[in-house]
Amino acid sequence: MRKMAFIFPGQGAQYVGMGKDIALNYKQSEEIFDIANEILRNDIKSLCFEGPEDELMKTENTQPAILATSIAILKIIEESGIKADVTAGLSLGEYAALVYSGVLDFKETVELVRKRGKYMQEVVPQGKGAMAAILGLDREIVNTIIEECSVKGVIEGANYNCPGQIVLSGETETIKLACDIAKDKGAKRAVILPVSAPFHCSLLKPAGEMLKKELENISISDINVDIISNVTGNYIDNKDKVKELLINQVSNSVLWEDTIDLMIKDGINTFVEIGPGKTLTAFVKKTAKKHGVKVESFNIENVDSLKEFLNTFK
């Protein structure tokens, strides 16, 4: 029996041109971008379709841009009648998942993530924080590196993406030290990432507090589709927990591998990545391989991939 998950990408998946051919071919998708423009009082549609890249890469633009692109694609899938059994999104992508599950309203959320991006960018002075990807080491080994380096400064696991891929976040010098130790312990790669702030670590707690004030004005509706939280790696069982989870998400680890583990354990065998890029599809395949199971994966980011998906489920 087919059981399906809709999963949504986070920051880093963006590129100039995302969503353009979808919007040109589907009026209801273009309407999502038009709504975003109106709410944000900014031409986010043009930014997605034409750039410039340096403006799209600004966190306060990137976050609503990716959200709008994901929801514009989702709109077509929903209207086709295809439904997911469960949903989740990586970091920013969790907001798209919450929109799909009926918990958040897109109009409120697109403005909320713009502010989220702004706060995450602003709270740590440029150069004080960094992030690094550690490839090819087991989670247990990376956690011992974090523990070893934590006496030198702030360092935490930001993203547990899939087997052999973990992202660290914290103070710049501590992250550099961790990269050196990771290489000594046999990491295939340990590289500083080109990001503007140390996301998903305790240095971002002030951004969470600022987001908390914004969330006071956001309405939370019932959960219509099961959704798994980044912070817990487990199902959100009560809508009243959503705001606290979103506040904590800013400065806590994203437990993405745990999320996919749980989906596979619960029989999900079809994964549909909705939005720019193919990153989550790669994470799913690596996690499924760990479990020794075969899953079907789709990533939908343009008209061709959308039509292929819709034709598969006609």
pLDDT tens per residue, range 151-191: 999 999 999 999 999 999 999 999 999 999 999 999 999 99
> What number of CA atoms fall less than 13 Å from residue 93's CA on the CB side?
29
Residues 159 and 306 in one domain: no
Per-residue confidence band for 195, with pLDDT thresholds at 50, 70 and 90: confident
The last residue of one of the domains, among 170, 195, 220, is 195
Residues 86 and 165 in one domain: no
- Domain containing 171 — which CATH number? 3.30.70.250
Residues 240 and 117 in one domain: yes
Residues 210 and 98 in one domain: yes
Residues 133 and 184 in one domain: yes
- Identity at 55, one-letter amino acid code: E
- pLDDT digit string, tens, across residues 31-44: 999 999 999 999 99
Q: Among residues 70, 101, 200, 251, which one is catalytic? A: 200
Per-residue confidence band for 127, with pLDDT thresholds at 50, 70 and 90: confident
Residues 73 and 135 in one domain: no
Residues 166 and 242 in one domain: no
Residues 97 and 239 in one domain: yes
Q: Say what the pLDDT of residue 126 is.
A: 80
Of all residues in the chain, the percent with pLDDT exceeding 70 is: 100
- pLDDT digit string, tens, across residues 256-301: 999 999 999 999 999 999 999 999 999 999 999 999 999 999 999 9
Residues 111 and 82 in one domain: yes
In the chain the first and final C-alpha atoms are separated, in Å, by 16
Q: CB neighbours of 168 closer than 8 A, spacing ≥ 6?
A: 131, 132, 133, 134, 142, 146, 155, 156, 157, 158, 175, 178
Residues 240 and 101 in one domain: yes
Of all residues in the chain, the percent with pLDDT exceeding 90 is: 95
The last residue of one of the domains, among 137, 165, 195, is 195
- Domain containing 259 — which CATH number? 3.40.366.10
The last residue of one of the domains, among 179, 195, 211, is 195
d(CA 147, CA 202): 15
Structural domains of the chain, count: 2
Residues 76 and 212 in one domain: yes
Q: Is 291 a catalytic residue?
A: no
Taking all residues of the chain, what is their mean pLDDT, rounded to a whole number? 96
d(CA 87, CA 97): 6
Q: Among residues 29, 70, 91, 169, which one is catalytic? A: 91
Q: Is 91 a catalytic residue?
A: yes
Residues 106 and 223 in one domain: yes
Tokens of 279: 């990153």
Q: Say what the pLDDT of residue 313 is.
A: 85
Residue closest to 14 by CA, chosen among 55, 126, 31: 55
Alpha helices in the chain (DSSP H): 20-25, 27-40, 44-50, 53-56, 59-79, 93-100, 106-122, 139-149, 172-184, 205-215, 242-249, 256-265, 279-291, 303-312
d(CA 50, CA 52): 6
Q: What angle do CA 18, 21, 26 make, to 5 degrees?
A: 120
DSSP 265-290: HTT--EEEEESS-SHHHHHHHHHHHH
- Name the residue range of residue 293's domain: 4-123+203-312
d(CA 118, CA 140): 33
Tokens 């909320």 label which residue? 112
Torsion (CA) 132, 135, 140, 145 in degrees, nearest 10: -40
